[in-house]
C-alpha cells in the first residue's frame, strides 16, 4: 500500500474504462485530488518474461481543479513530451541497454504498475494502480500444435467460420497471432528459426507448406486459402511460400527482404533460392554501443546474386508490402520499391504498399514498448532498429487496422466450405 499525504487524502488515480484490458486496447489515465497546478511525476514499471525491468516517467502539471488527464494534458519532460495518452506504456525502457521487451506467451498478461509521485526523481509515491493487459480474449482457444514438421500454436476464436492466417515469426512468439485471433481470425503461429540463427546453415519451406495444409483442413476455416503474416526474415520466406506452395491467398510482408537473406532455401529437397550474402564488416558502430547494419546485405539485383531473388512476379495471391523509412536493420523501403516496380513491369496489379517514413524496423502490436536497440540473432553484437518513437507508435496503431482490413478483404469466408468440413 502506498502512503498518501493528508493534502492528497482524496487523490484518485484511475485507469479507464477499466484496469484490466486487452494488450492492444488503449486506456485513459486520470488523476484527481491534487492541488491546483501541482506538478507531479507519473511513472510506469513492468518486468518482461526474462525478468528484465522496464521503466518510464513523465512530468505533468495539474489543471486548476487539481486534475490530470493523459488524453488531454501534455508531458512537460521525461520519457516523452507532449500529449501521448499511452506514452507511459510505449516508452517503457530497460534498466540496462540494448534489451528488447520480451512478450511471447499468450497466457501471461503484461502487468504494468502506474503511479503518481511528488515532483522530482525521488518524489514520494502518492498513489499506484495496476494495469493488467491480456493477450488472449475470452472464448479464444490456444492449442499447441506438434504434427509432422509443424511446431507451433493455434489460436481459434469462438464460433466461426474464420479466415485462416499463418503467422510466420522470425523467432517463436504468440503475441501477434493471439491478438489477431481476438479479431476473428484462426491463426497458427510458427517460427522461421526454431534454433539459434547462427547455428543454422539452411532453411526449408516444407514445414511451412505443412502448416498451410494443416490450416486448410481445420473445420472452422471458411477461407479458400491462407493468409501469411510476416516481418523481417519471415518476409522473404513468406514470399517464397506464395510462389511455390498452393493455397496462399494473401501475404503481409513487413520490413522484409526481396531475396533469401543470409540462408539458402530448400523445398522438397531441392535448393530453390541461393543465400544473399552479407558482410558484417560493413556494419557502422555508433556511440550507443549498437551498430547500424542496414547495408551489410549485398545487392540482390547484382548478377551474381540473382539466384537469391524471390520471383515475386509469380505470386498469384494478394500482396501487402509495408516498409519503414527509418529501418536501420536493412533497406526494406528499397526492397519494397524494387518489388513494386518489378510487379508493374510484369503487368501485375495484385499488390498494395504502405510506407511509414519515420518508423523503424520493429513494427510491433500497438503500445508494445519501443525498442531502439537490442541484440541480433545473426550478427554477434547489438544493433539499432531505427524509428522516431512517436511516429513509430502511430505507425503501429495504423498498421494493425490495415492488416485486419487487408486479410478480411482477401480471405473472405465461404460458409458452405466450412460446413462441408464438419
In angstroms, what CA-CA distances link 293 with 87, 203, 287, 329, 373? 28, 22, 15, 5, 12
Point out the catalytic residue in the list 98, 100, 208, 361.
361
| Range 51-77 average pLDDT | 98
Question: Is pLDDT of 143 > 80?
Answer: yes
Catalytic-residue membership of 326 = no
Residue 420 has pLDDT above 60, yes or no: no
- Residue 403: how many other CB atoms lie within 10 Å: 22
**Segment holding 344, helix H or strand E:** helix 332-345
* Residues 180, 182, 188, 192, CA torsion sign: positive
Banded model confidence at residue 5, pLDDT cuts 50, 70, 90? very low
pTM, to two decimals: 0.93
Q: What is the pLDDT of residue 334?
A: 98
Q: What is the pLDDT of residues 257-301, one digit of tens each?
A: 999 999 999 999 999 999 999 999 999 999 999 999 999 999 999
Say how many C-beta atoms besides its own lie within 10 A of residue 95's C-beta.
10
Q: Where are the domains of the chain?
A: 6-134, 141-421
Please tell me the distance from the alpha carbon of residue 45 to that of residue 130, in angstroms, as a whole number. 10
- Flag whether pLDDT at 65 surpasses 60: yes
Strand partners, 22: 134
Catalytic residue among 24, 69, 236, 327: 327
Residue 2 has pLDDT above 80, yes or no: no
Domains 6-134 and 141-421 share a fold: no
Exposed, middle or buried: residue 287 (CB in 10 Å: 0-12, 13-18, 19+)? exposed
Q: What homologous superfamily is domain 6-134 in, according to CATH?
A: Acyl-CoA thioester hydrolase/BAAT N-terminal domain (2.60.40.2240)
pLDDT band at 123 (very low <50, low <70, confident <90, very high): confident
Active site residue 373: no
pLDDT of res. 1: 37
Q: How confident is the model at residue 7 (pLDDT cuts 50, 70, 90)?
A: very low
Angstrom distances, CA of residue 177 to CA of 12, 42, 184, 246, 404: 36, 32, 11, 22, 12
As a whole number, mean pLDDT of residues 26-35 equals 97
Q: Is the pLDDT of residue 8 over 80?
A: no
CA distances, 66 to each of 10, 78, 119, 173 (Å): 11, 21, 14, 43
Residue 169: partners with Cβ closer than 8 Å, 6 or more residues away:
176, 177, 189, 190, 191, 192, 231, 234
Active site residue 361: yes
| Overall CATH class of domain 141-421 | alpha beta
> pLDDT per residue over 187-210, tens digit each?
999 999 987 888 889 999 999 999
Catalytic entry in 232, 258, 373, 418? 232
d(CA 166, CA 181): 11
Query: Which H helix or E strand runs over 188?
Result: strand 186-193
At 162-180, the pLDDT tens digits run: 999 999 999 999 999 999 9
Model confidence at 413, pLDDT cuts 50, 70, 90, reads confident
Q: How far apart are CA 171 and CA 191, in angstroms?
A: 5
Write out pLDDT tens, residues 145-155: 999 999 999 99
- Are residues 165 and 180 in contact, defined by beta-carbon separation less than 8 angstroms? yes
Amino acid at each position: 500500500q502506498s502512503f498518501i499525504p493528508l493534502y492528497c487524502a482524496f487523490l484518485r488515480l484511475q485507469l479507464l474504462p477499466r484496469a484490466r484490458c486487452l494488450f492492444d486496447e488503449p486506456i485513459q489515465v486520470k488523476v484527481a485530488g491534487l492541488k491546483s497546478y501541482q506538478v507531479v511525476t507519473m511513472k510506469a514499471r513492468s518486468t518482461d518474461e526474462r525478468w528484465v525491468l522496464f521503466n518510464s516517467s513523465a512530468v505533468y502539471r495539474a489543471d486548476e481543479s487539481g486534475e490530470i488527464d493523459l488524453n488531454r494534458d501534455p508531458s512537460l519532460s521525461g520519457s516523452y513530451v507532449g500529449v501521448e495518452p499511452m506514452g507511459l506504456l510505449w516508452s517503457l525502457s530497460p534498466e540496462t541497454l540494448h534489451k528488447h521487451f520480451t512478450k511471447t506467451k499468450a497466457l501471461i498478461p503484461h502487468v504494468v504498475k502506474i503511479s503518481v509521485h511528488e515532483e522530482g526523481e525521488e518524489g514520494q509515491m502518492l498513489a499506484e494502480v495496476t494495469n493488467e493487459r491480456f493477450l488472449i480474449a475470452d472464448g479464444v482457444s490456444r492449442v499447441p500444435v506438434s504434427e509432422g514438421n509443424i511446431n507451433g500454436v493455434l489460436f481459434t476464436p469462438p464460433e466461426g467460420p474464420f479466415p485462416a492466417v499463418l503467422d510466420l515469426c522470425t523467432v517463436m512468439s504468440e503475441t501477434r497471432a493471439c491478438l489477431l485471433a481476438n479479431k476473428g481470425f484462426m491463426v497458427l503461429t510458427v517460427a522461421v528459426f526454431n534454433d539459434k540463427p547462427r547455428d543454422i546453415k539452411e532453411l526449408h519451406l516444407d514445414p511451412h507448406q505443412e502448416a498451410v495444409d494443416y490450416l486448410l483442413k481445420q473445420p472452422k476455416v471458411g477461407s479458400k486459402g491462407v493468409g501469411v503474416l510476416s516481418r523481417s526474415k519471415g518476409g522473404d520466406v513468406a514470399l517464397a511460400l506464395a510462389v511455390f506452395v498452393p493455397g496462399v491467398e494473401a501475404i503481409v510482408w513487413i520490413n522484409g527482404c526481396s531475396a533469401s537473406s543470409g540462408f539458402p532455401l530448400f523445398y522438397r529437397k531441392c535448393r530453390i533460392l541461393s543465400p544473399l550474402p552479407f558482410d558484417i564488416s560493413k556494419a557502422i558502430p555508433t556511440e550507443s554501443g549498437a551498430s547500424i547494419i542496414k547495408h551489410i546485405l549485398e545487392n540482390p539485383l547484382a548478377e551474381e546474386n540473382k539466384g537469391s531473388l524471390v520471383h515475386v512476379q509469380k505470386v498469384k495471391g494478394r500482396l501487402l508490402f509495408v516498409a519503414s523509412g527509418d529501418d536501420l536493420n536493412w533497406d526494406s523501403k528499397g526492397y519494397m520499391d524494387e518489388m513494386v516496380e518489378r510487379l508493374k513491369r510484369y503487368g501485375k496489379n495484385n499488390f498494395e504498399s504502405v510506407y511509414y517514413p519515420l518508423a523503424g524496423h520493429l513494427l510491433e502490436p500497438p503500445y508494445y514498448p519501443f525498442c531502439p536497440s537490442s541484440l541480433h540473432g545473426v550478427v554477434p553484437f547489438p544493433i539499432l532498429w531505427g524509428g522516431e518513437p512517436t511516429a513509430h507508435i502511430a505507425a503501429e496503431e495504423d498498421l494493425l487496422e490495415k492488416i485486419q482490413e487487408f486479410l478480411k478483404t482477401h480471405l473472405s469466408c465461404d460458409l458452405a466450405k466450412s460446413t462441408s468440413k464438419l
